[in-house]
Amino acid sequence: MDAYLLDWLNLLLRWAHVITGIAWIGASFYFVALDNGLTPPQDAKERDKGIGGEMWAVHGGGFYHQQKYPVSPAQLPDKLHWSMWESYSTWLTGFALFTVLYLANANTFLIDKNVFDWSPAAAIATSLGFFVAFWAIYDGICRVFGQRKNGDVIVGVLVFGFIVFASWLSCHLFAGRAAFLLVGAMIATTMSGNVLMVIIPGQRKVVAALRAGLPVDPIHGKRGKQRSVHNTYFTLPVILTMLSNHYGFLYGGAYNWVVLVVMMLSGALIRQSFVLRHKALATGQPVPWAYAIVGVVLLAGVVTASMPAASPAFAAVSAPPAFAQVQQVMAQRCTMCHNEQLASKAIQLHTPELLARNAQSVYQQAVVLKLMPMNNATQMTAEERDLVKRWFEAGAKP
């Protein structure tokens, strides 16, 4: 496909994915906040009708009165709002984007031969296998342990342990950028799987039983609530992985899988404080910010541990390098993709004038973010990145 049209497809799919993701996450966060913010109804007539909780809210110049039936109302209305298409459309656009960017360019984006040298077909099959395997194991854990005593704790520990293993394995098989995204896509697939395979089917069975005048099995509500809660804790870790591909310093280190796990854990802990905040405010209790504080401390630890050490050899060199040195680095590491015949991302670096014109982009991508060369396929060294850095800071003159 023409590179120009491919970029447009990338943009439009990414745009659609973000829009649908906002719709899904927004609805999910809202219902979690609503569920935790409910208080018992003050009116005895409301309680007699089976209403277990209510919330009065003000928004957009109006007042809203939301009520929840823990089991079922006496009579269902003809029209019910179903929250499912936000989830499905988010997954579909996300998988389409993953296909266009990663699966269709497996040799460039999925594979880093310095990490693991294998064929594009094997890399593609394994990446898809991550989606299937994680859902199957996660779903099995929930079904076996989810309804037992202390089931939520058992499920949480087992699922977290499996995510740690999947993160380690992914970072030892795939290019760092792809590994982070793959773990996020794996979890996001399970989030949509929860909606498609558990939450919505359970709700349909409850609705069918109510319309037929049959007793409702409470297991459907319990499973749906459990999976919905899991989804809210998965959200921030998934968003992190989606953003990570813009920051090479996250996935470029030797212990990138540890960085990924700790940052995902910090996101889940921060989310925990906000989940509990709604209930605390509704009941007049102090907000449990301790979880968020621990999450922030973990983030600070990652920032500190990942900070690059200043090299005495680099620090001793104060004079800017000769342009010929920079041009030699570009010829060895960059111009094979940025030349007159192949101007990747519309950037050419094969002449002194073009290199100076694109110096800002070179500095940002190769030095600051360390995104280029892609997967460091041409083995640009730390010394060469420092050379480019000193040239740019000295004025980037040709």
The pTM for the full model equals 0.85
| Amino acid symbol at 100 | V
Q: Find the range with the poorest average confidence among 262-271, 272-281, 337-346, 348-357.
A: 337-346
pLDDT above 90 for 259: yes
Listing DSSP states for 50-69 in one string gives T--EEEEEEETTEEEEEEE-
pLDDT in tens, 55-104: 999 999 999 999 998 777 778 888 888 989 999 999 999 999 999 999 99
pLDDT interval class at 316 (50, 70, 90): low
**What separation in angstroms does the CA of 216 have from each of 43, 50, 222, 227?**
26, 14, 12, 19
> What letters, b where the CB count within 10 A reaches 16 and e where it falls short, cover 269-298?
bbbbbbbbbbbbeeeeeeeeeebbebbeeb
What's the pLDDT score for residue 374? 80
* Cα separations in angstroms, 152 against 94, 143, 146, 159, 263: 29, 11, 6, 10, 22
pLDDT at 311: 54
pLDDT, residue 147, reads 87
Encode pLDDT of 111-125 as tens digits.
998 899 999 999 999
Q: Which residues contact 212 (CB under 8 A, 6 or more apart)?
A: none
Amino acid identity of residue 394, one-letter, is A
**Mean pLDDT of the region 288-298:** 96
Peptide bond before residue 373 is cis, with ω within 30 degrees of 0? yes
Q: Taking 70 as the threshold, does the pLDDT of residue 309 lie above it? A: no
Give residue 312's Cα distance to chain centre.
Answer: 37
The answer to whether 83 and 181 have CB atoms below 8 angstroms apart is: no
pLDDT at 49: 85
State pLDDT tens for residues 169-214.
Answer: 999 999 999 999 999 999 999 999 999 999 999 999 999 998 888 8
